[in-house]
Amino acid sequence: MNHRISGPDDLARLREELQRERHPEQPTLAICAGTGCQAYGVNRVIEAFQTELAAHGLGERVKVLPTGCPGFCERGPLVVVKPQGIFYQRVKLADVPDIVEKTLLQGEVIDRLLYEDPQTGQKVVHEAEVPFYALQQREILWINGLLDPTQIEDYIALGGYSALIKALFEMSPDEVLAAVKNSGLRGRGGAGFPTGRKWESCRRAEGEVKYVICNADEGDPGAFMDRAVLEGNPHSVLEGMLIGAYAIGNCREGYLYVRNEYPMAVENAGLALEAARAYGLLGENIAGSGFRFDVQIRRGGGAFVCGESSALMQSLQGNVGEPQAKYVRSVERGLWERPTTLNNVETWANVPLIVAKGWEWYAGIGTEGSKGTKIFSLVGKINNTGLVEVPMGVTLRHIIFDIGGGIPGGKQFKAVQTGGPSGGCVPEDMLDLAVDFDELDKAGSMMGSGGMIVMDEDTCMVDIARYFLDFLKEESCGKCVPCREGIARSLEILNRICQGKGRAEDIDLLEELSETIGGFSLCALGRTAPNPVLSTIKYFRHEYEAHIFEHRCPAGVCKALIEYWIDPELCTGCGACTRVCPQEAIFGQKKEPHAVTRSDCIKCGACYDVCRFEAIKIRSGEVEPAGVASPAPAVEA
C-alpha cells in the first residue's frame, strides 16, 4: 500500500507531502491517550469528542489527535486545542460539549478548565506557559504531545527518520560512532555506562553476526519514562536502534524486550515495526541504501531481574533469567554468544537527536560527566506528579519544588528516593545536590532509570527499607547465596523492627549483612540491594531507634505500632466511618462525635481513607489525649 522510500530525496518529498496534509492551522484537539490518562477514563472523553464534533458537522474539519504521554499526569486528562495551543486540564466527559461549542466554534477560552498556578493564583492559557512544562527542557518528551504514536506519517512529518537517512547516506559507521562517543551520552538504564564506548567495543568485537537489543523491561517501581517514550513515540526508539545497528556493523537483527505489564507499549511498538517495514525503513535494503536490519518484539515474563542485561539475554534465549558473570562482556559474547549491544529505551531515543542535531549541540547540555537531558518520573507525595525532562545537573530542589510544586497538603518534605530498589533515600539537607550520575552515587543513592519518589512526614523510612527488601526478596533470582539469603534475613530483621520487636543490636546487624550482600553478589540487583537500608540508616537512624527502643513509629505507618482514634473536635458524626468499618468497631450517635473500640479495630485504615473532616487520627506511642478514651461504649447501639 505504501511506497518504499528509495533515498534521501524521496523521504524529503514524502515529508513535504505529509506536512501539506497536516496544515498547522487546522483546528486540532490533541488529547493524551497514554496509560496514565487511560486510568482517568480518557477513552470515553475521546469518543465523546468524536460524537460531539460529528453532531456539529465538524467531524471533517476538526482533527482529534490521540497522543502519547506529554508528562503532566497529575492534571489529566489533558486536552490541547490547536492551533491556539489552549491547555485544558482535568477534562471530564461533561466538559466536552463546552469545549466544542465555546472554544472551537466561538473561540472562547473556558476559564474553569485552565491550569491555575498554585504559587501565583494566575490562570495559564497556553500549554507552553504552564510552569511545569516551561521549567523543563523537553528534547525527547515534547514530540509525544504532537503525534499519534500509531501513525508513522506523523513522525515523518515532524522530521522523523531524517537522522537515519543522514547516518546512512552522509556518514560512515565510524563517523556515527564518533558522534555518539563525542556526545558524552551515557546509558539511561541505571549504570550510566558511556554508550559510544559500548558501541565501539561491540564494533571491534569479532563476529559475522551481531545483535542490538532495546531494554524496555522497565521494572523499577516508580519509573515510567521508558513506557511513556515507547508508548508515545516508538519510532524514535526504532530509529535509534537502526542507527546503532548501522554504526556497529554486521548487525541484521535486533530485539525489543518489553515488560508484559505495558500492553500499550507492546501494541504501539508492534504497529511501529509494521509501518516502518511497509515504508522500507526496516528490513531489506533500508531506504535504498543497501543496509539491512530488522527488529522483533519479545514480551517479558514479569521478572524484575530480567532488566539486568545478561539476565535479559538469557530470557531472550528462552531460559530462566539469571544474570551471568561479567568476566565475559556481552559486547563480545552476549546473545547466542555473539557480540551484542544492549541499551535502554531512553538511551536509544537520544541517538536520533545526536545524529540530527550534531554531537556538539548535545554535549553542550548537562554537566562535565553527564550530558544531555534526563527524564525523571516525579511521583509519590508531590503536587505535580508526572514526567519531567531536565538537563543533567539541575538540583533535586529545583525538580521537586520548582517543577514539582512541592508537597501536597502543607506537609513536610522528608526524603526523595531515587534509583528504584537499587537506589537510596536522599534527605532534605542534600536537596541542593546536582542530579547527575556521579553526584547521586556519592550521596549513597543512584540515578537508576530516573524514578523519583517523594516522601513526606507521613512516610516511615524503616517501612520504606522494609518495602524495598520485600520487593527484592521476591525478585532475587536465587543464584547467589548472599543475595538470596542475605535479603531474606535483612527483611526478617526489618519486619521485627516494624512490629516493635526490634533488638538493640539490629541496626549493626543490618549494616553487617548489607556489607556481605553488596560485596558478594554477582549482579547489580544484589550488589545494590543494601542501598535502601544503608541510606535510611545513615540519614534516618532516629526512626530506626524510635521503633526499636520506644516501640513507636513516628510517621504512623507501621501497623503494629499505631492506633486509630477519632478527634471529637473534628468529628461531625456523619457516620461515613461506621459504614465502611469491616469490624463494626466504630460507634457513636448521628451528629455526635464517634469513637473507636480499640479491641475490635484491625487497623485497616478504611475509616481513615473515608473521613472528609480529617477527624480520624493515627498515633503511635503517645499518651492518649484526655477525653477521647473509649474503653467501653457509653452509647446505646
Instruction: List residues binding another protein (CB under 8 A).
Output: 35-36, 38-40, 73-74, 76, 218-224, 227, 259-263, 298-304, 315-321, 377, 379-381, 385-386, 417, 420, 451, 453, 455, 459, 464, 467-468, 471, 474-475, 477, 580, 582, 604-606, 608-610
Yes or no: say if 205 and 228 are a contact pair by the CB < 8 Å rule: no
Angle between helices 345-357 and 173-183 in degrees, nearest 10: 110
Secondary structure (3-state) at 215: strand
**CB of 220 vs another protein, minimal distance in Å:** 7
Strand order of the sheet with strand 63-67? 63-67, 28-32, 79-82, 86-88
302 near 258, Cβ under 8 Å? no
Q: How far is the CB of 214 from another protein (least distance, A)?
A: 16
Please report which helix (H) or strand (E) contains residue 386, including its range: strand 386-391
Nearer to another protein, 11 or 335 (CB): 335
67 touches 146 (CB < 8 A) = yes
Amino acid at residue number 85? G
**Least gap, CB of 604 to another protein (angstroms):** 5
Nearer to another protein, 49 or 468 (CB): 468
Cβ neighbours of 19 (radius 10 Å)? 14
Closest CB to another protein among residues 280, 380: 380
Enclosing H/E stretch for 527: helix 524-528
CB of 570 to another protein, least distance (A): 18
Of the candidates 112, 110, 114, 140, the residue with the CA atom closest to the CA atom of residue 126: 114
How far is residue 397's CA from residue 471's CA, in Å, rounded to a whole number?
28
For residues 321 and 194, is the Cβ–Cβ distance under 8 A?
no
Of 184 and 424, the one with the shorter C-beta distance to another protein is 424
> Whose Cβ is closer to another protein: residue 10's or residue 428's?
428
Nearer to another protein, 153 or 218 (CB): 218
> Is the link from the previous residue into 77 a cis peptide, with omega within 30 of 0?
yes
Complete DSSP assignment for 131-150:
HHHHTS--TTGGGGGTS-TT
| 254 backbone dihedrals φ, ψ, rounded to 5° | -135, 160
Q: Whose Cβ is closer to another protein: residue 15's or residue 75's?
A: 75
CB of 285 to another protein, least distance (A): 24
Task: State how far the alpha carbon of 134 is from the alpha carbons of 33, 487, 490, in Å.
Answer: 22, 43, 44
Helix axes 195-204, 234-248, angle to 10 degrees: 40
Q: How far is the CB of 440 from another protein (least distance, A)?
A: 17
Of residues 282 and 555, the one with the C-beta less far from another protein: 555
Query: Quick check: bond before 173 cis, omega within 30?
Result: no
Q: How far is the CB of 17 from another protein (least distance, A)?
A: 36
Q: To the nearest whole angstrom, how small is the minimum distance from the Cβ of residue 212 to another protein?
A: 17
145 to each of 133, 158, 493, 591, how far by Cα in Å?
A: 12, 12, 47, 50
CB 24 → another protein: shortest distance, Å?
30
The H or E element spanning position 314 is: helix 309-316
User: Nearest approach, Cβ of 150 to another protein (angstroms)?
Assistant: 19
Give the separation between CA 115 and CA 72, rounded to whole angstroms: 11
Q: For the stretch 587-604, what's the b/e string if a residue is b when 16 or more beta carbons lie within 10 angstroms of its beta carbon? A: bbeeeebbbbbeeebebe
* Least distance (Å) between residue 25 CB and another protein: 33
Q: What's the min distance (Å) between Cβ of 54 and another protein? A: 26
Q: What are phi and psi of 416, to 5 degrees?
A: -125, 135
Residue number with CB closer to another protein (196 or 380): 380
Residue closer to another protein by CB (options 15, 381) is 381
10 Å Cβ neighbour count for 174? 12
Q: Which is nearer to another protein, 287 or 566 (CB)?
A: 566
**Residue 304 or 587 having the CB closest to another protein:** 304
Virtual torsion, Cα 50, 55, 58, 64, nearest 10 deg: -10
Minimum Å gap between C-beta 209 and another protein is: 15
Cβ-based nearer residue to another protein, 39 or 629:
39
Q: Maximum Cα–Cα distance for the chain, whole Å?
A: 87
